[in-house]
Amino acid sequence: MEEAESLCLRIRHALGSHGLAHQCFAVELLAREALANAVLHGNRQAVDKVVELRFSVGRKWIRLEVTDQGPGFRSRRELGRKRDNAACSGRGLELYSLYAERVQFNRRGNRITLWLSRKQE
């Protein structure tokens, strides 16, 4: 997680260079949440495991992809589950659906891809 801040600064810089500074909050929020989930839940904080973040800005979409080396989880089951607002975990899936237009998990459940539409200010 020590790397998350520097990664988010790089994302902020890239968004600014594309005239998308107004989208920094949403993109950084999703990046931090996906990174935290990958480290805590995916890799279970194992120091010998790696988390990879891929970020791109296209003509229509901003894309974040986070992959961990953990066993994965059953994304279909989790996406349909009702959330307890007082729970200490589980808010990530809620955030993804609030800020991203599209959320996709790979079959194994150890990679999430988030798409946010490019919005002009």
Architecture of domain 4-117: 2-Layer Sandwich (3.30)
pLDDT tens digits, residue range 14-40?
999 999 999 999 999 999 999 999 999
DSSP string, 35-72: HHHIIIIISTT-TT---EEEEEE-SSEEEEEEE-SS--
For the full predicted model, state whether its pTM sits above 0.75. yes
Closest CA to 116 of 40, 28, 43: 28
Domain boundaries, the chain: 4-117
Confidence of residue 73 (pLDDT cuts 50, 70, 90): confident
CB 14, CB 58: distance < 8 Å: no
